[in-house]
Amino acid sequence: MKLQIILMLVLALILTQLPIVGKYFAILNTMIHESGHSLMALLTGGEVRRISLLPDTSGLTWTGHRSWFGQVLTSMAGYVFASFFAFLFFYLIWRGHYQWMIYILLAFLAVNLIFWVRNLYGVFWIVTFGAGFLWLLRTGHETVVQYTLVFFASLILVESVTSAFEIMWISFVAPGQAGDAANLARATKIIPAPIWGIAFFAQSLYFAYLSLRRALPF
């Protein structure tokens, strides 16, 4: 299992650097990130208007809020949600509960397609990714399916850390363009974007540590 995880982490890190194929797979993390914003908006009494998943792996979520607190929690949720699910998937893999990871991924795809994602590329990605995933489940060998799921977990982990690092970097060099960190800085007024960027990156490293501490020696 340890060698399998190491191989999949290296593959995920290499693949996500490729211009087209890499970005296609990396959108899996984007979908989970944007779903985190959406679910938090709903949990805090707000609404989700729509989500856009874009070819450059960025995503946009349009939400409405009833309170300032709900807006802040919604802005915070994306990076934390993706990092947490990387940890959850590795936990399920470590426990051998591959079927639960399958159910969760299918639920993400279905909910986003039915309720939230409305842009053309986003719908295209969900339909093609979902179709490929379902085909693999129907025709793939059990070992192949397990390797694929470990790869997906590794992909989400790698992207959750690298995307958090990227937003931290942007928060220092161009604070107003730092996405969720910039939104939180505007909402809180007293906490600048770089602090939020550092917090996002720190939590991603913490969840990465939790994800890998049983599989890899530290």
Q: What is the pLDDT of residues 180-209, one digit of tens each?
A: 999 999 999 999 999 999 999 999 999 999
> What confidence score (pLDDT) does residue 153 get?
97
- Decide if pLDDT at 214 tops 80: no
The model carries a pTM of 0.96
| Percentage with pLDDT > 70 across the chain | 99
Give the whole-angstrom CA distance, residue 58 versus residue 61: 10
- Decide if pLDDT at 94 tops 70: yes
Confidence at 1, pLDDT banded by 50, 70, 90: confident
φ, ψ (nearest 5 deg) of residue 65:
-130, 150
> What confidence score (pLDDT) does residue 152 get?
97
Give the whole-angstrom CA distance, residue 142 versus residue 204: 30
- Decide if pLDDT at 2 tops 90: no
**Other Cβ atoms within 10 Å of 74 Cβ, number:** 27
Q: What is the pLDDT of residues 6-53, one digit of tens each?
A: 999 999 999 999 999 999 999 999 999 999 999 999 999 999 999 999
- Decide if pLDDT at 174 tops 70: yes
**CA angle in degrees (0–180, nearest 5) for 150-206-17:** 50
> What confidence score (pLDDT) does residue 171 get?
98
> What confidence score (pLDDT) does residue 217 get?
63
Cβ–Cβ < 8 Å for 60, 52? yes
Structure tokens at 166: 């990227």
CA proximity to 164, closest of 148, 154, 178, 185: 178
- Decide if pLDDT at 218 tops 70: no
- Decide if pLDDT at 68 tops 80: yes
Give the whole-angstrom CA distance, residue 12 versus residue 48: 31
50 pairs with which residues across the strands? 62
Q: What is the pLDDT of residues 134-156, one digit of tens each?
A: 999 998 889 999 999 999 999 99
Q: What mean pLDDT value characterizes the chain?
A: 95
- Decide if pLDDT at 216 tops 80: no
The full set of domain ranges for the chain reads 2-53+66-212
